[in-house]
Amino acid sequence: MSFDRQKLSTILSDGIQTMSLVLSDEQQNLLLDYLERIHKWNKAFNLTSVRDPEQMMVKHILDSLAVAPFLTDKRYIDVGTGPGLPGIPLAIVCPDKHFTLLDSLGKRVRFMKQCAFEMKLTNINPIQSRVEEHVPAQYYDAVLSRAFASLKDMLHWCEHLVDTQGKFLALKGQYPTDEIAAIPESFTLESSVELLVPGLEGERHLLTVQKS
């Protein structure tokens, strides 16, 4: 699969226009730089099962960016981030926010650190740890997760990362009726928003949960 930067740039600019996002040329170039790095590293390190750069643009970059309008806090932790999704695209488009990127696999964390260094991303902090073993120096405002675990498991494993005001933002596919029914009584589903991700087949929902 070749990396056609011109074509990918068009998919990106069309996508952000459809989503009514406003990104500078520099931000769009950084997103393309990041995708190009995933594409290169993927050959040796298998960072993501998606191989086609055009599919990556939709399933990874645009899918991550769809969350941007809903980020109202300052300090986030992206759990089970993989190669930095959705955290790195969100860090690029939300330079005023800070993202801790947590993954248990060393190769992914090395990749993210390399991205931070080469792309001069000062608002990300990649950390190698299992989520239940990560003890933050101060609470995060919110926990982000994308394809990480069921809602119940996410809340169980991540509860210690936020205080009573903290939120949990979970990116899901179809509306997860069964998962929502299994949310413990000590938590409340605050909102569910269906996201528009241009070019993505299937549904996308962002669920926001808070401690009761």
Angle, to 10 degrees, between the axis of helix 25-45 and the axis of helix 106-118?
150
User: Is 85:47 a contact under the CB 8 Å cutoff?
Assistant: no
CA gap 68, 89 in Å, rounded: 9
pTM above 0.75, yes or no: yes
**Tens digit of each residue's pLDDT (9 = 90 or more) over 59-118:** 999 999 999 999 999 999 999 999 999 999 999 999 999 999 999 999 999 999 999 999
pLDDT given at position 148: 84
CA gap 154, 46 in Å, rounded: 25
Over the range 111-140, which residues count as b (16 or more CB within 10 Å of their CB) and which as e?
A: bbbebbeebebebbbbbbeebeebeeeeeb
Tell me the backbone φ, ψ of residue 78, rounded to 5 degrees: -100, 105
pLDDT given at position 76: 98
User: Is 176:151 a contact under the CB 8 Å cutoff?
Assistant: yes
Over the range 82-92, which residues count as b (16 or more CB within 10 Å of their CB) and which as e?
A: bbbbbbbbbbb
CA gap 88, 31 in Å, rounded: 9
pLDDT given at position 33: 98
CA gap 101, 126 in Å, rounded: 4
pLDDT given at position 147: 79
pLDDT given at position 182: 97
Residues in the chain with pLDDT values less than 70: none
